[in-house]
Amino acid sequence: MSHSHIPIDADRRRVLAALGAVGLSAAGVSRSAWAAQAGAAWPADRPINYVVPFPAGGLTDVAARQVAKALSDAEKWNVVIENKPGGNANIGAAFVSRAPADGYTWLAMTLSHAANATLFEGRAGYELLKDLTPIAGLASSPIMVVVSSKSAIKSMQDLAEAAKTKALSTGSSGNGTPPHLTMALYQKITGAKLMHVPYKGGTPSLTDLIGGHVDVVFSNYPESLAFVKSGELRALAVTTKTRTKELPDVPTVAEVGLPDLVVENFTGVMGPAGMPPEIVTRVSRAIVAQLSKPAMAQSLTQLGFMPQPRDAQAFGAYLSGEVTRWRGIIKEANITTS
């Protein structure tokens, strides 16, 4: 009997192994078929929730609404903006990270999120590069260093000289925001004495600057653009590699001897981790196509943005690089949100 059991068990194992291989193959085909069907059927007749983790009317919100309208017009998608501000933009991002990965929930993300990966490490409620999927890069805007038009500071060299004699009061739109990060980077590079004055938003900081209550402000370019054009503020430099179209007379940081101060306050689109690649590709291509149109580029430029259409792969690589860059800056400069 013992001889008869051995070949039966061996045969059984061979049969089970074969069945298992077939089952795994079928499961793989099933997953691939589902992903393909999901991409082909998407979007169904339901709205796409485009979450903006900042208040309505802000820079990111305005850019997101431009993209939503363009996609609604061109693709007939029902893209609905939902503002979920708070928690240094982490509340909205965490919400999207927990949403179903079906392509119907997007996040309007910015440089703030790339910095938050370090500033709020372990307490943001999500991990940027693990819990979210890059879909497309949209645009960026520089940080602009501005003073009152009545100030004796007329250049970045004047700013450096003034900072040697006293700690200049320096406004930003808040702790941990791109303007604050840029100010801290400037201090790290130059050793300048600056006393940070964080505001709840960019506009209050600029109002106080015009009123003479602070010496200088590191500002989001679109927020201070109109004040510079009106003559109420003087721009010392922009943190781009090339001069802006709207203010061609304002030098870049590289031109004033600060090439390491290049900062792009970028915005892009992400979705929950695990989105079907077919849907990611479809959304990415549609967004890039709209951003590449002259009318959209002109509209964003007038608002103070520099269009930077990037597909999912390119945006993912760019984002990873920004997270790494700002991790180093934040650690070295000991930047905190408090």
Q: Is residue 40 part of a domain?
A: no
pTM score: 0.84
Whether residues 196 and 113 fall in one domain: no
Residue 151: domain span: 143-261
Structural domain total, the chain: 3
- Does residue 113 share a domain with residue 57? yes
Domain boundary among 261, 285, 308: 261
Instruction: Kindly state whether residue 189 falls inside one of the protein's structural domains.
Output: yes
* Residue 38 belongs to some domain of the structure: no
In a domain, 43, yes or no: no
Do 199 and 134 belong together in one domain?
A: no
Task: Indicate if 63 and 117 belong to the same structural domain.
Answer: yes
3-class secondary structure per residue, 31-93:
HHHHHHHHHHHCCCCCCEEEEECCCCCCHHHHHHHHHHHHHHHHHCCCEEEEECCCHHHHHHH
pLDDT in tens, 76-122: 999 999 999 999 999 999 999 999 999 999 999 999 999 999 999 99
pLDDT at res. 320: 98
In a shared domain, residues 233 and 322: no
Q: How far is CA 283 from CA 130, 207, 295, in A?
A: 20, 39, 20
Whether residue 26 is found in the same domain as residue 102? no
Q: Which two tokens stand for residue 135?
A: 């879909």
In a domain, 241, yes or no: yes
Specify whether 25 is located in the same domain as 117.
no
- Any residues with CB less than 8 A from the CB of 82 and at least 6 apart, and which? 49, 50, 51, 52
Q: What is the CATH number of the domain that holds 217?
A: 3.40.190.10
**For 141-173, how does the pLDDT look when each residue is reduced to its tens digit (9 = 90+)?**
999 999 999 999 999 999 999 999 999 999 999
> Does a structural domain hold residue 37?
no
Half-sphere CA count of 210, side-chain side, radius 13 A: 15
On the question of pLDDT at 287 being above 70, the answer is yes
Nearest CA among 86, 98, 97 for reference residue 53 = 86
User: C-alpha 114: how far from its chain's center?
Assistant: 7
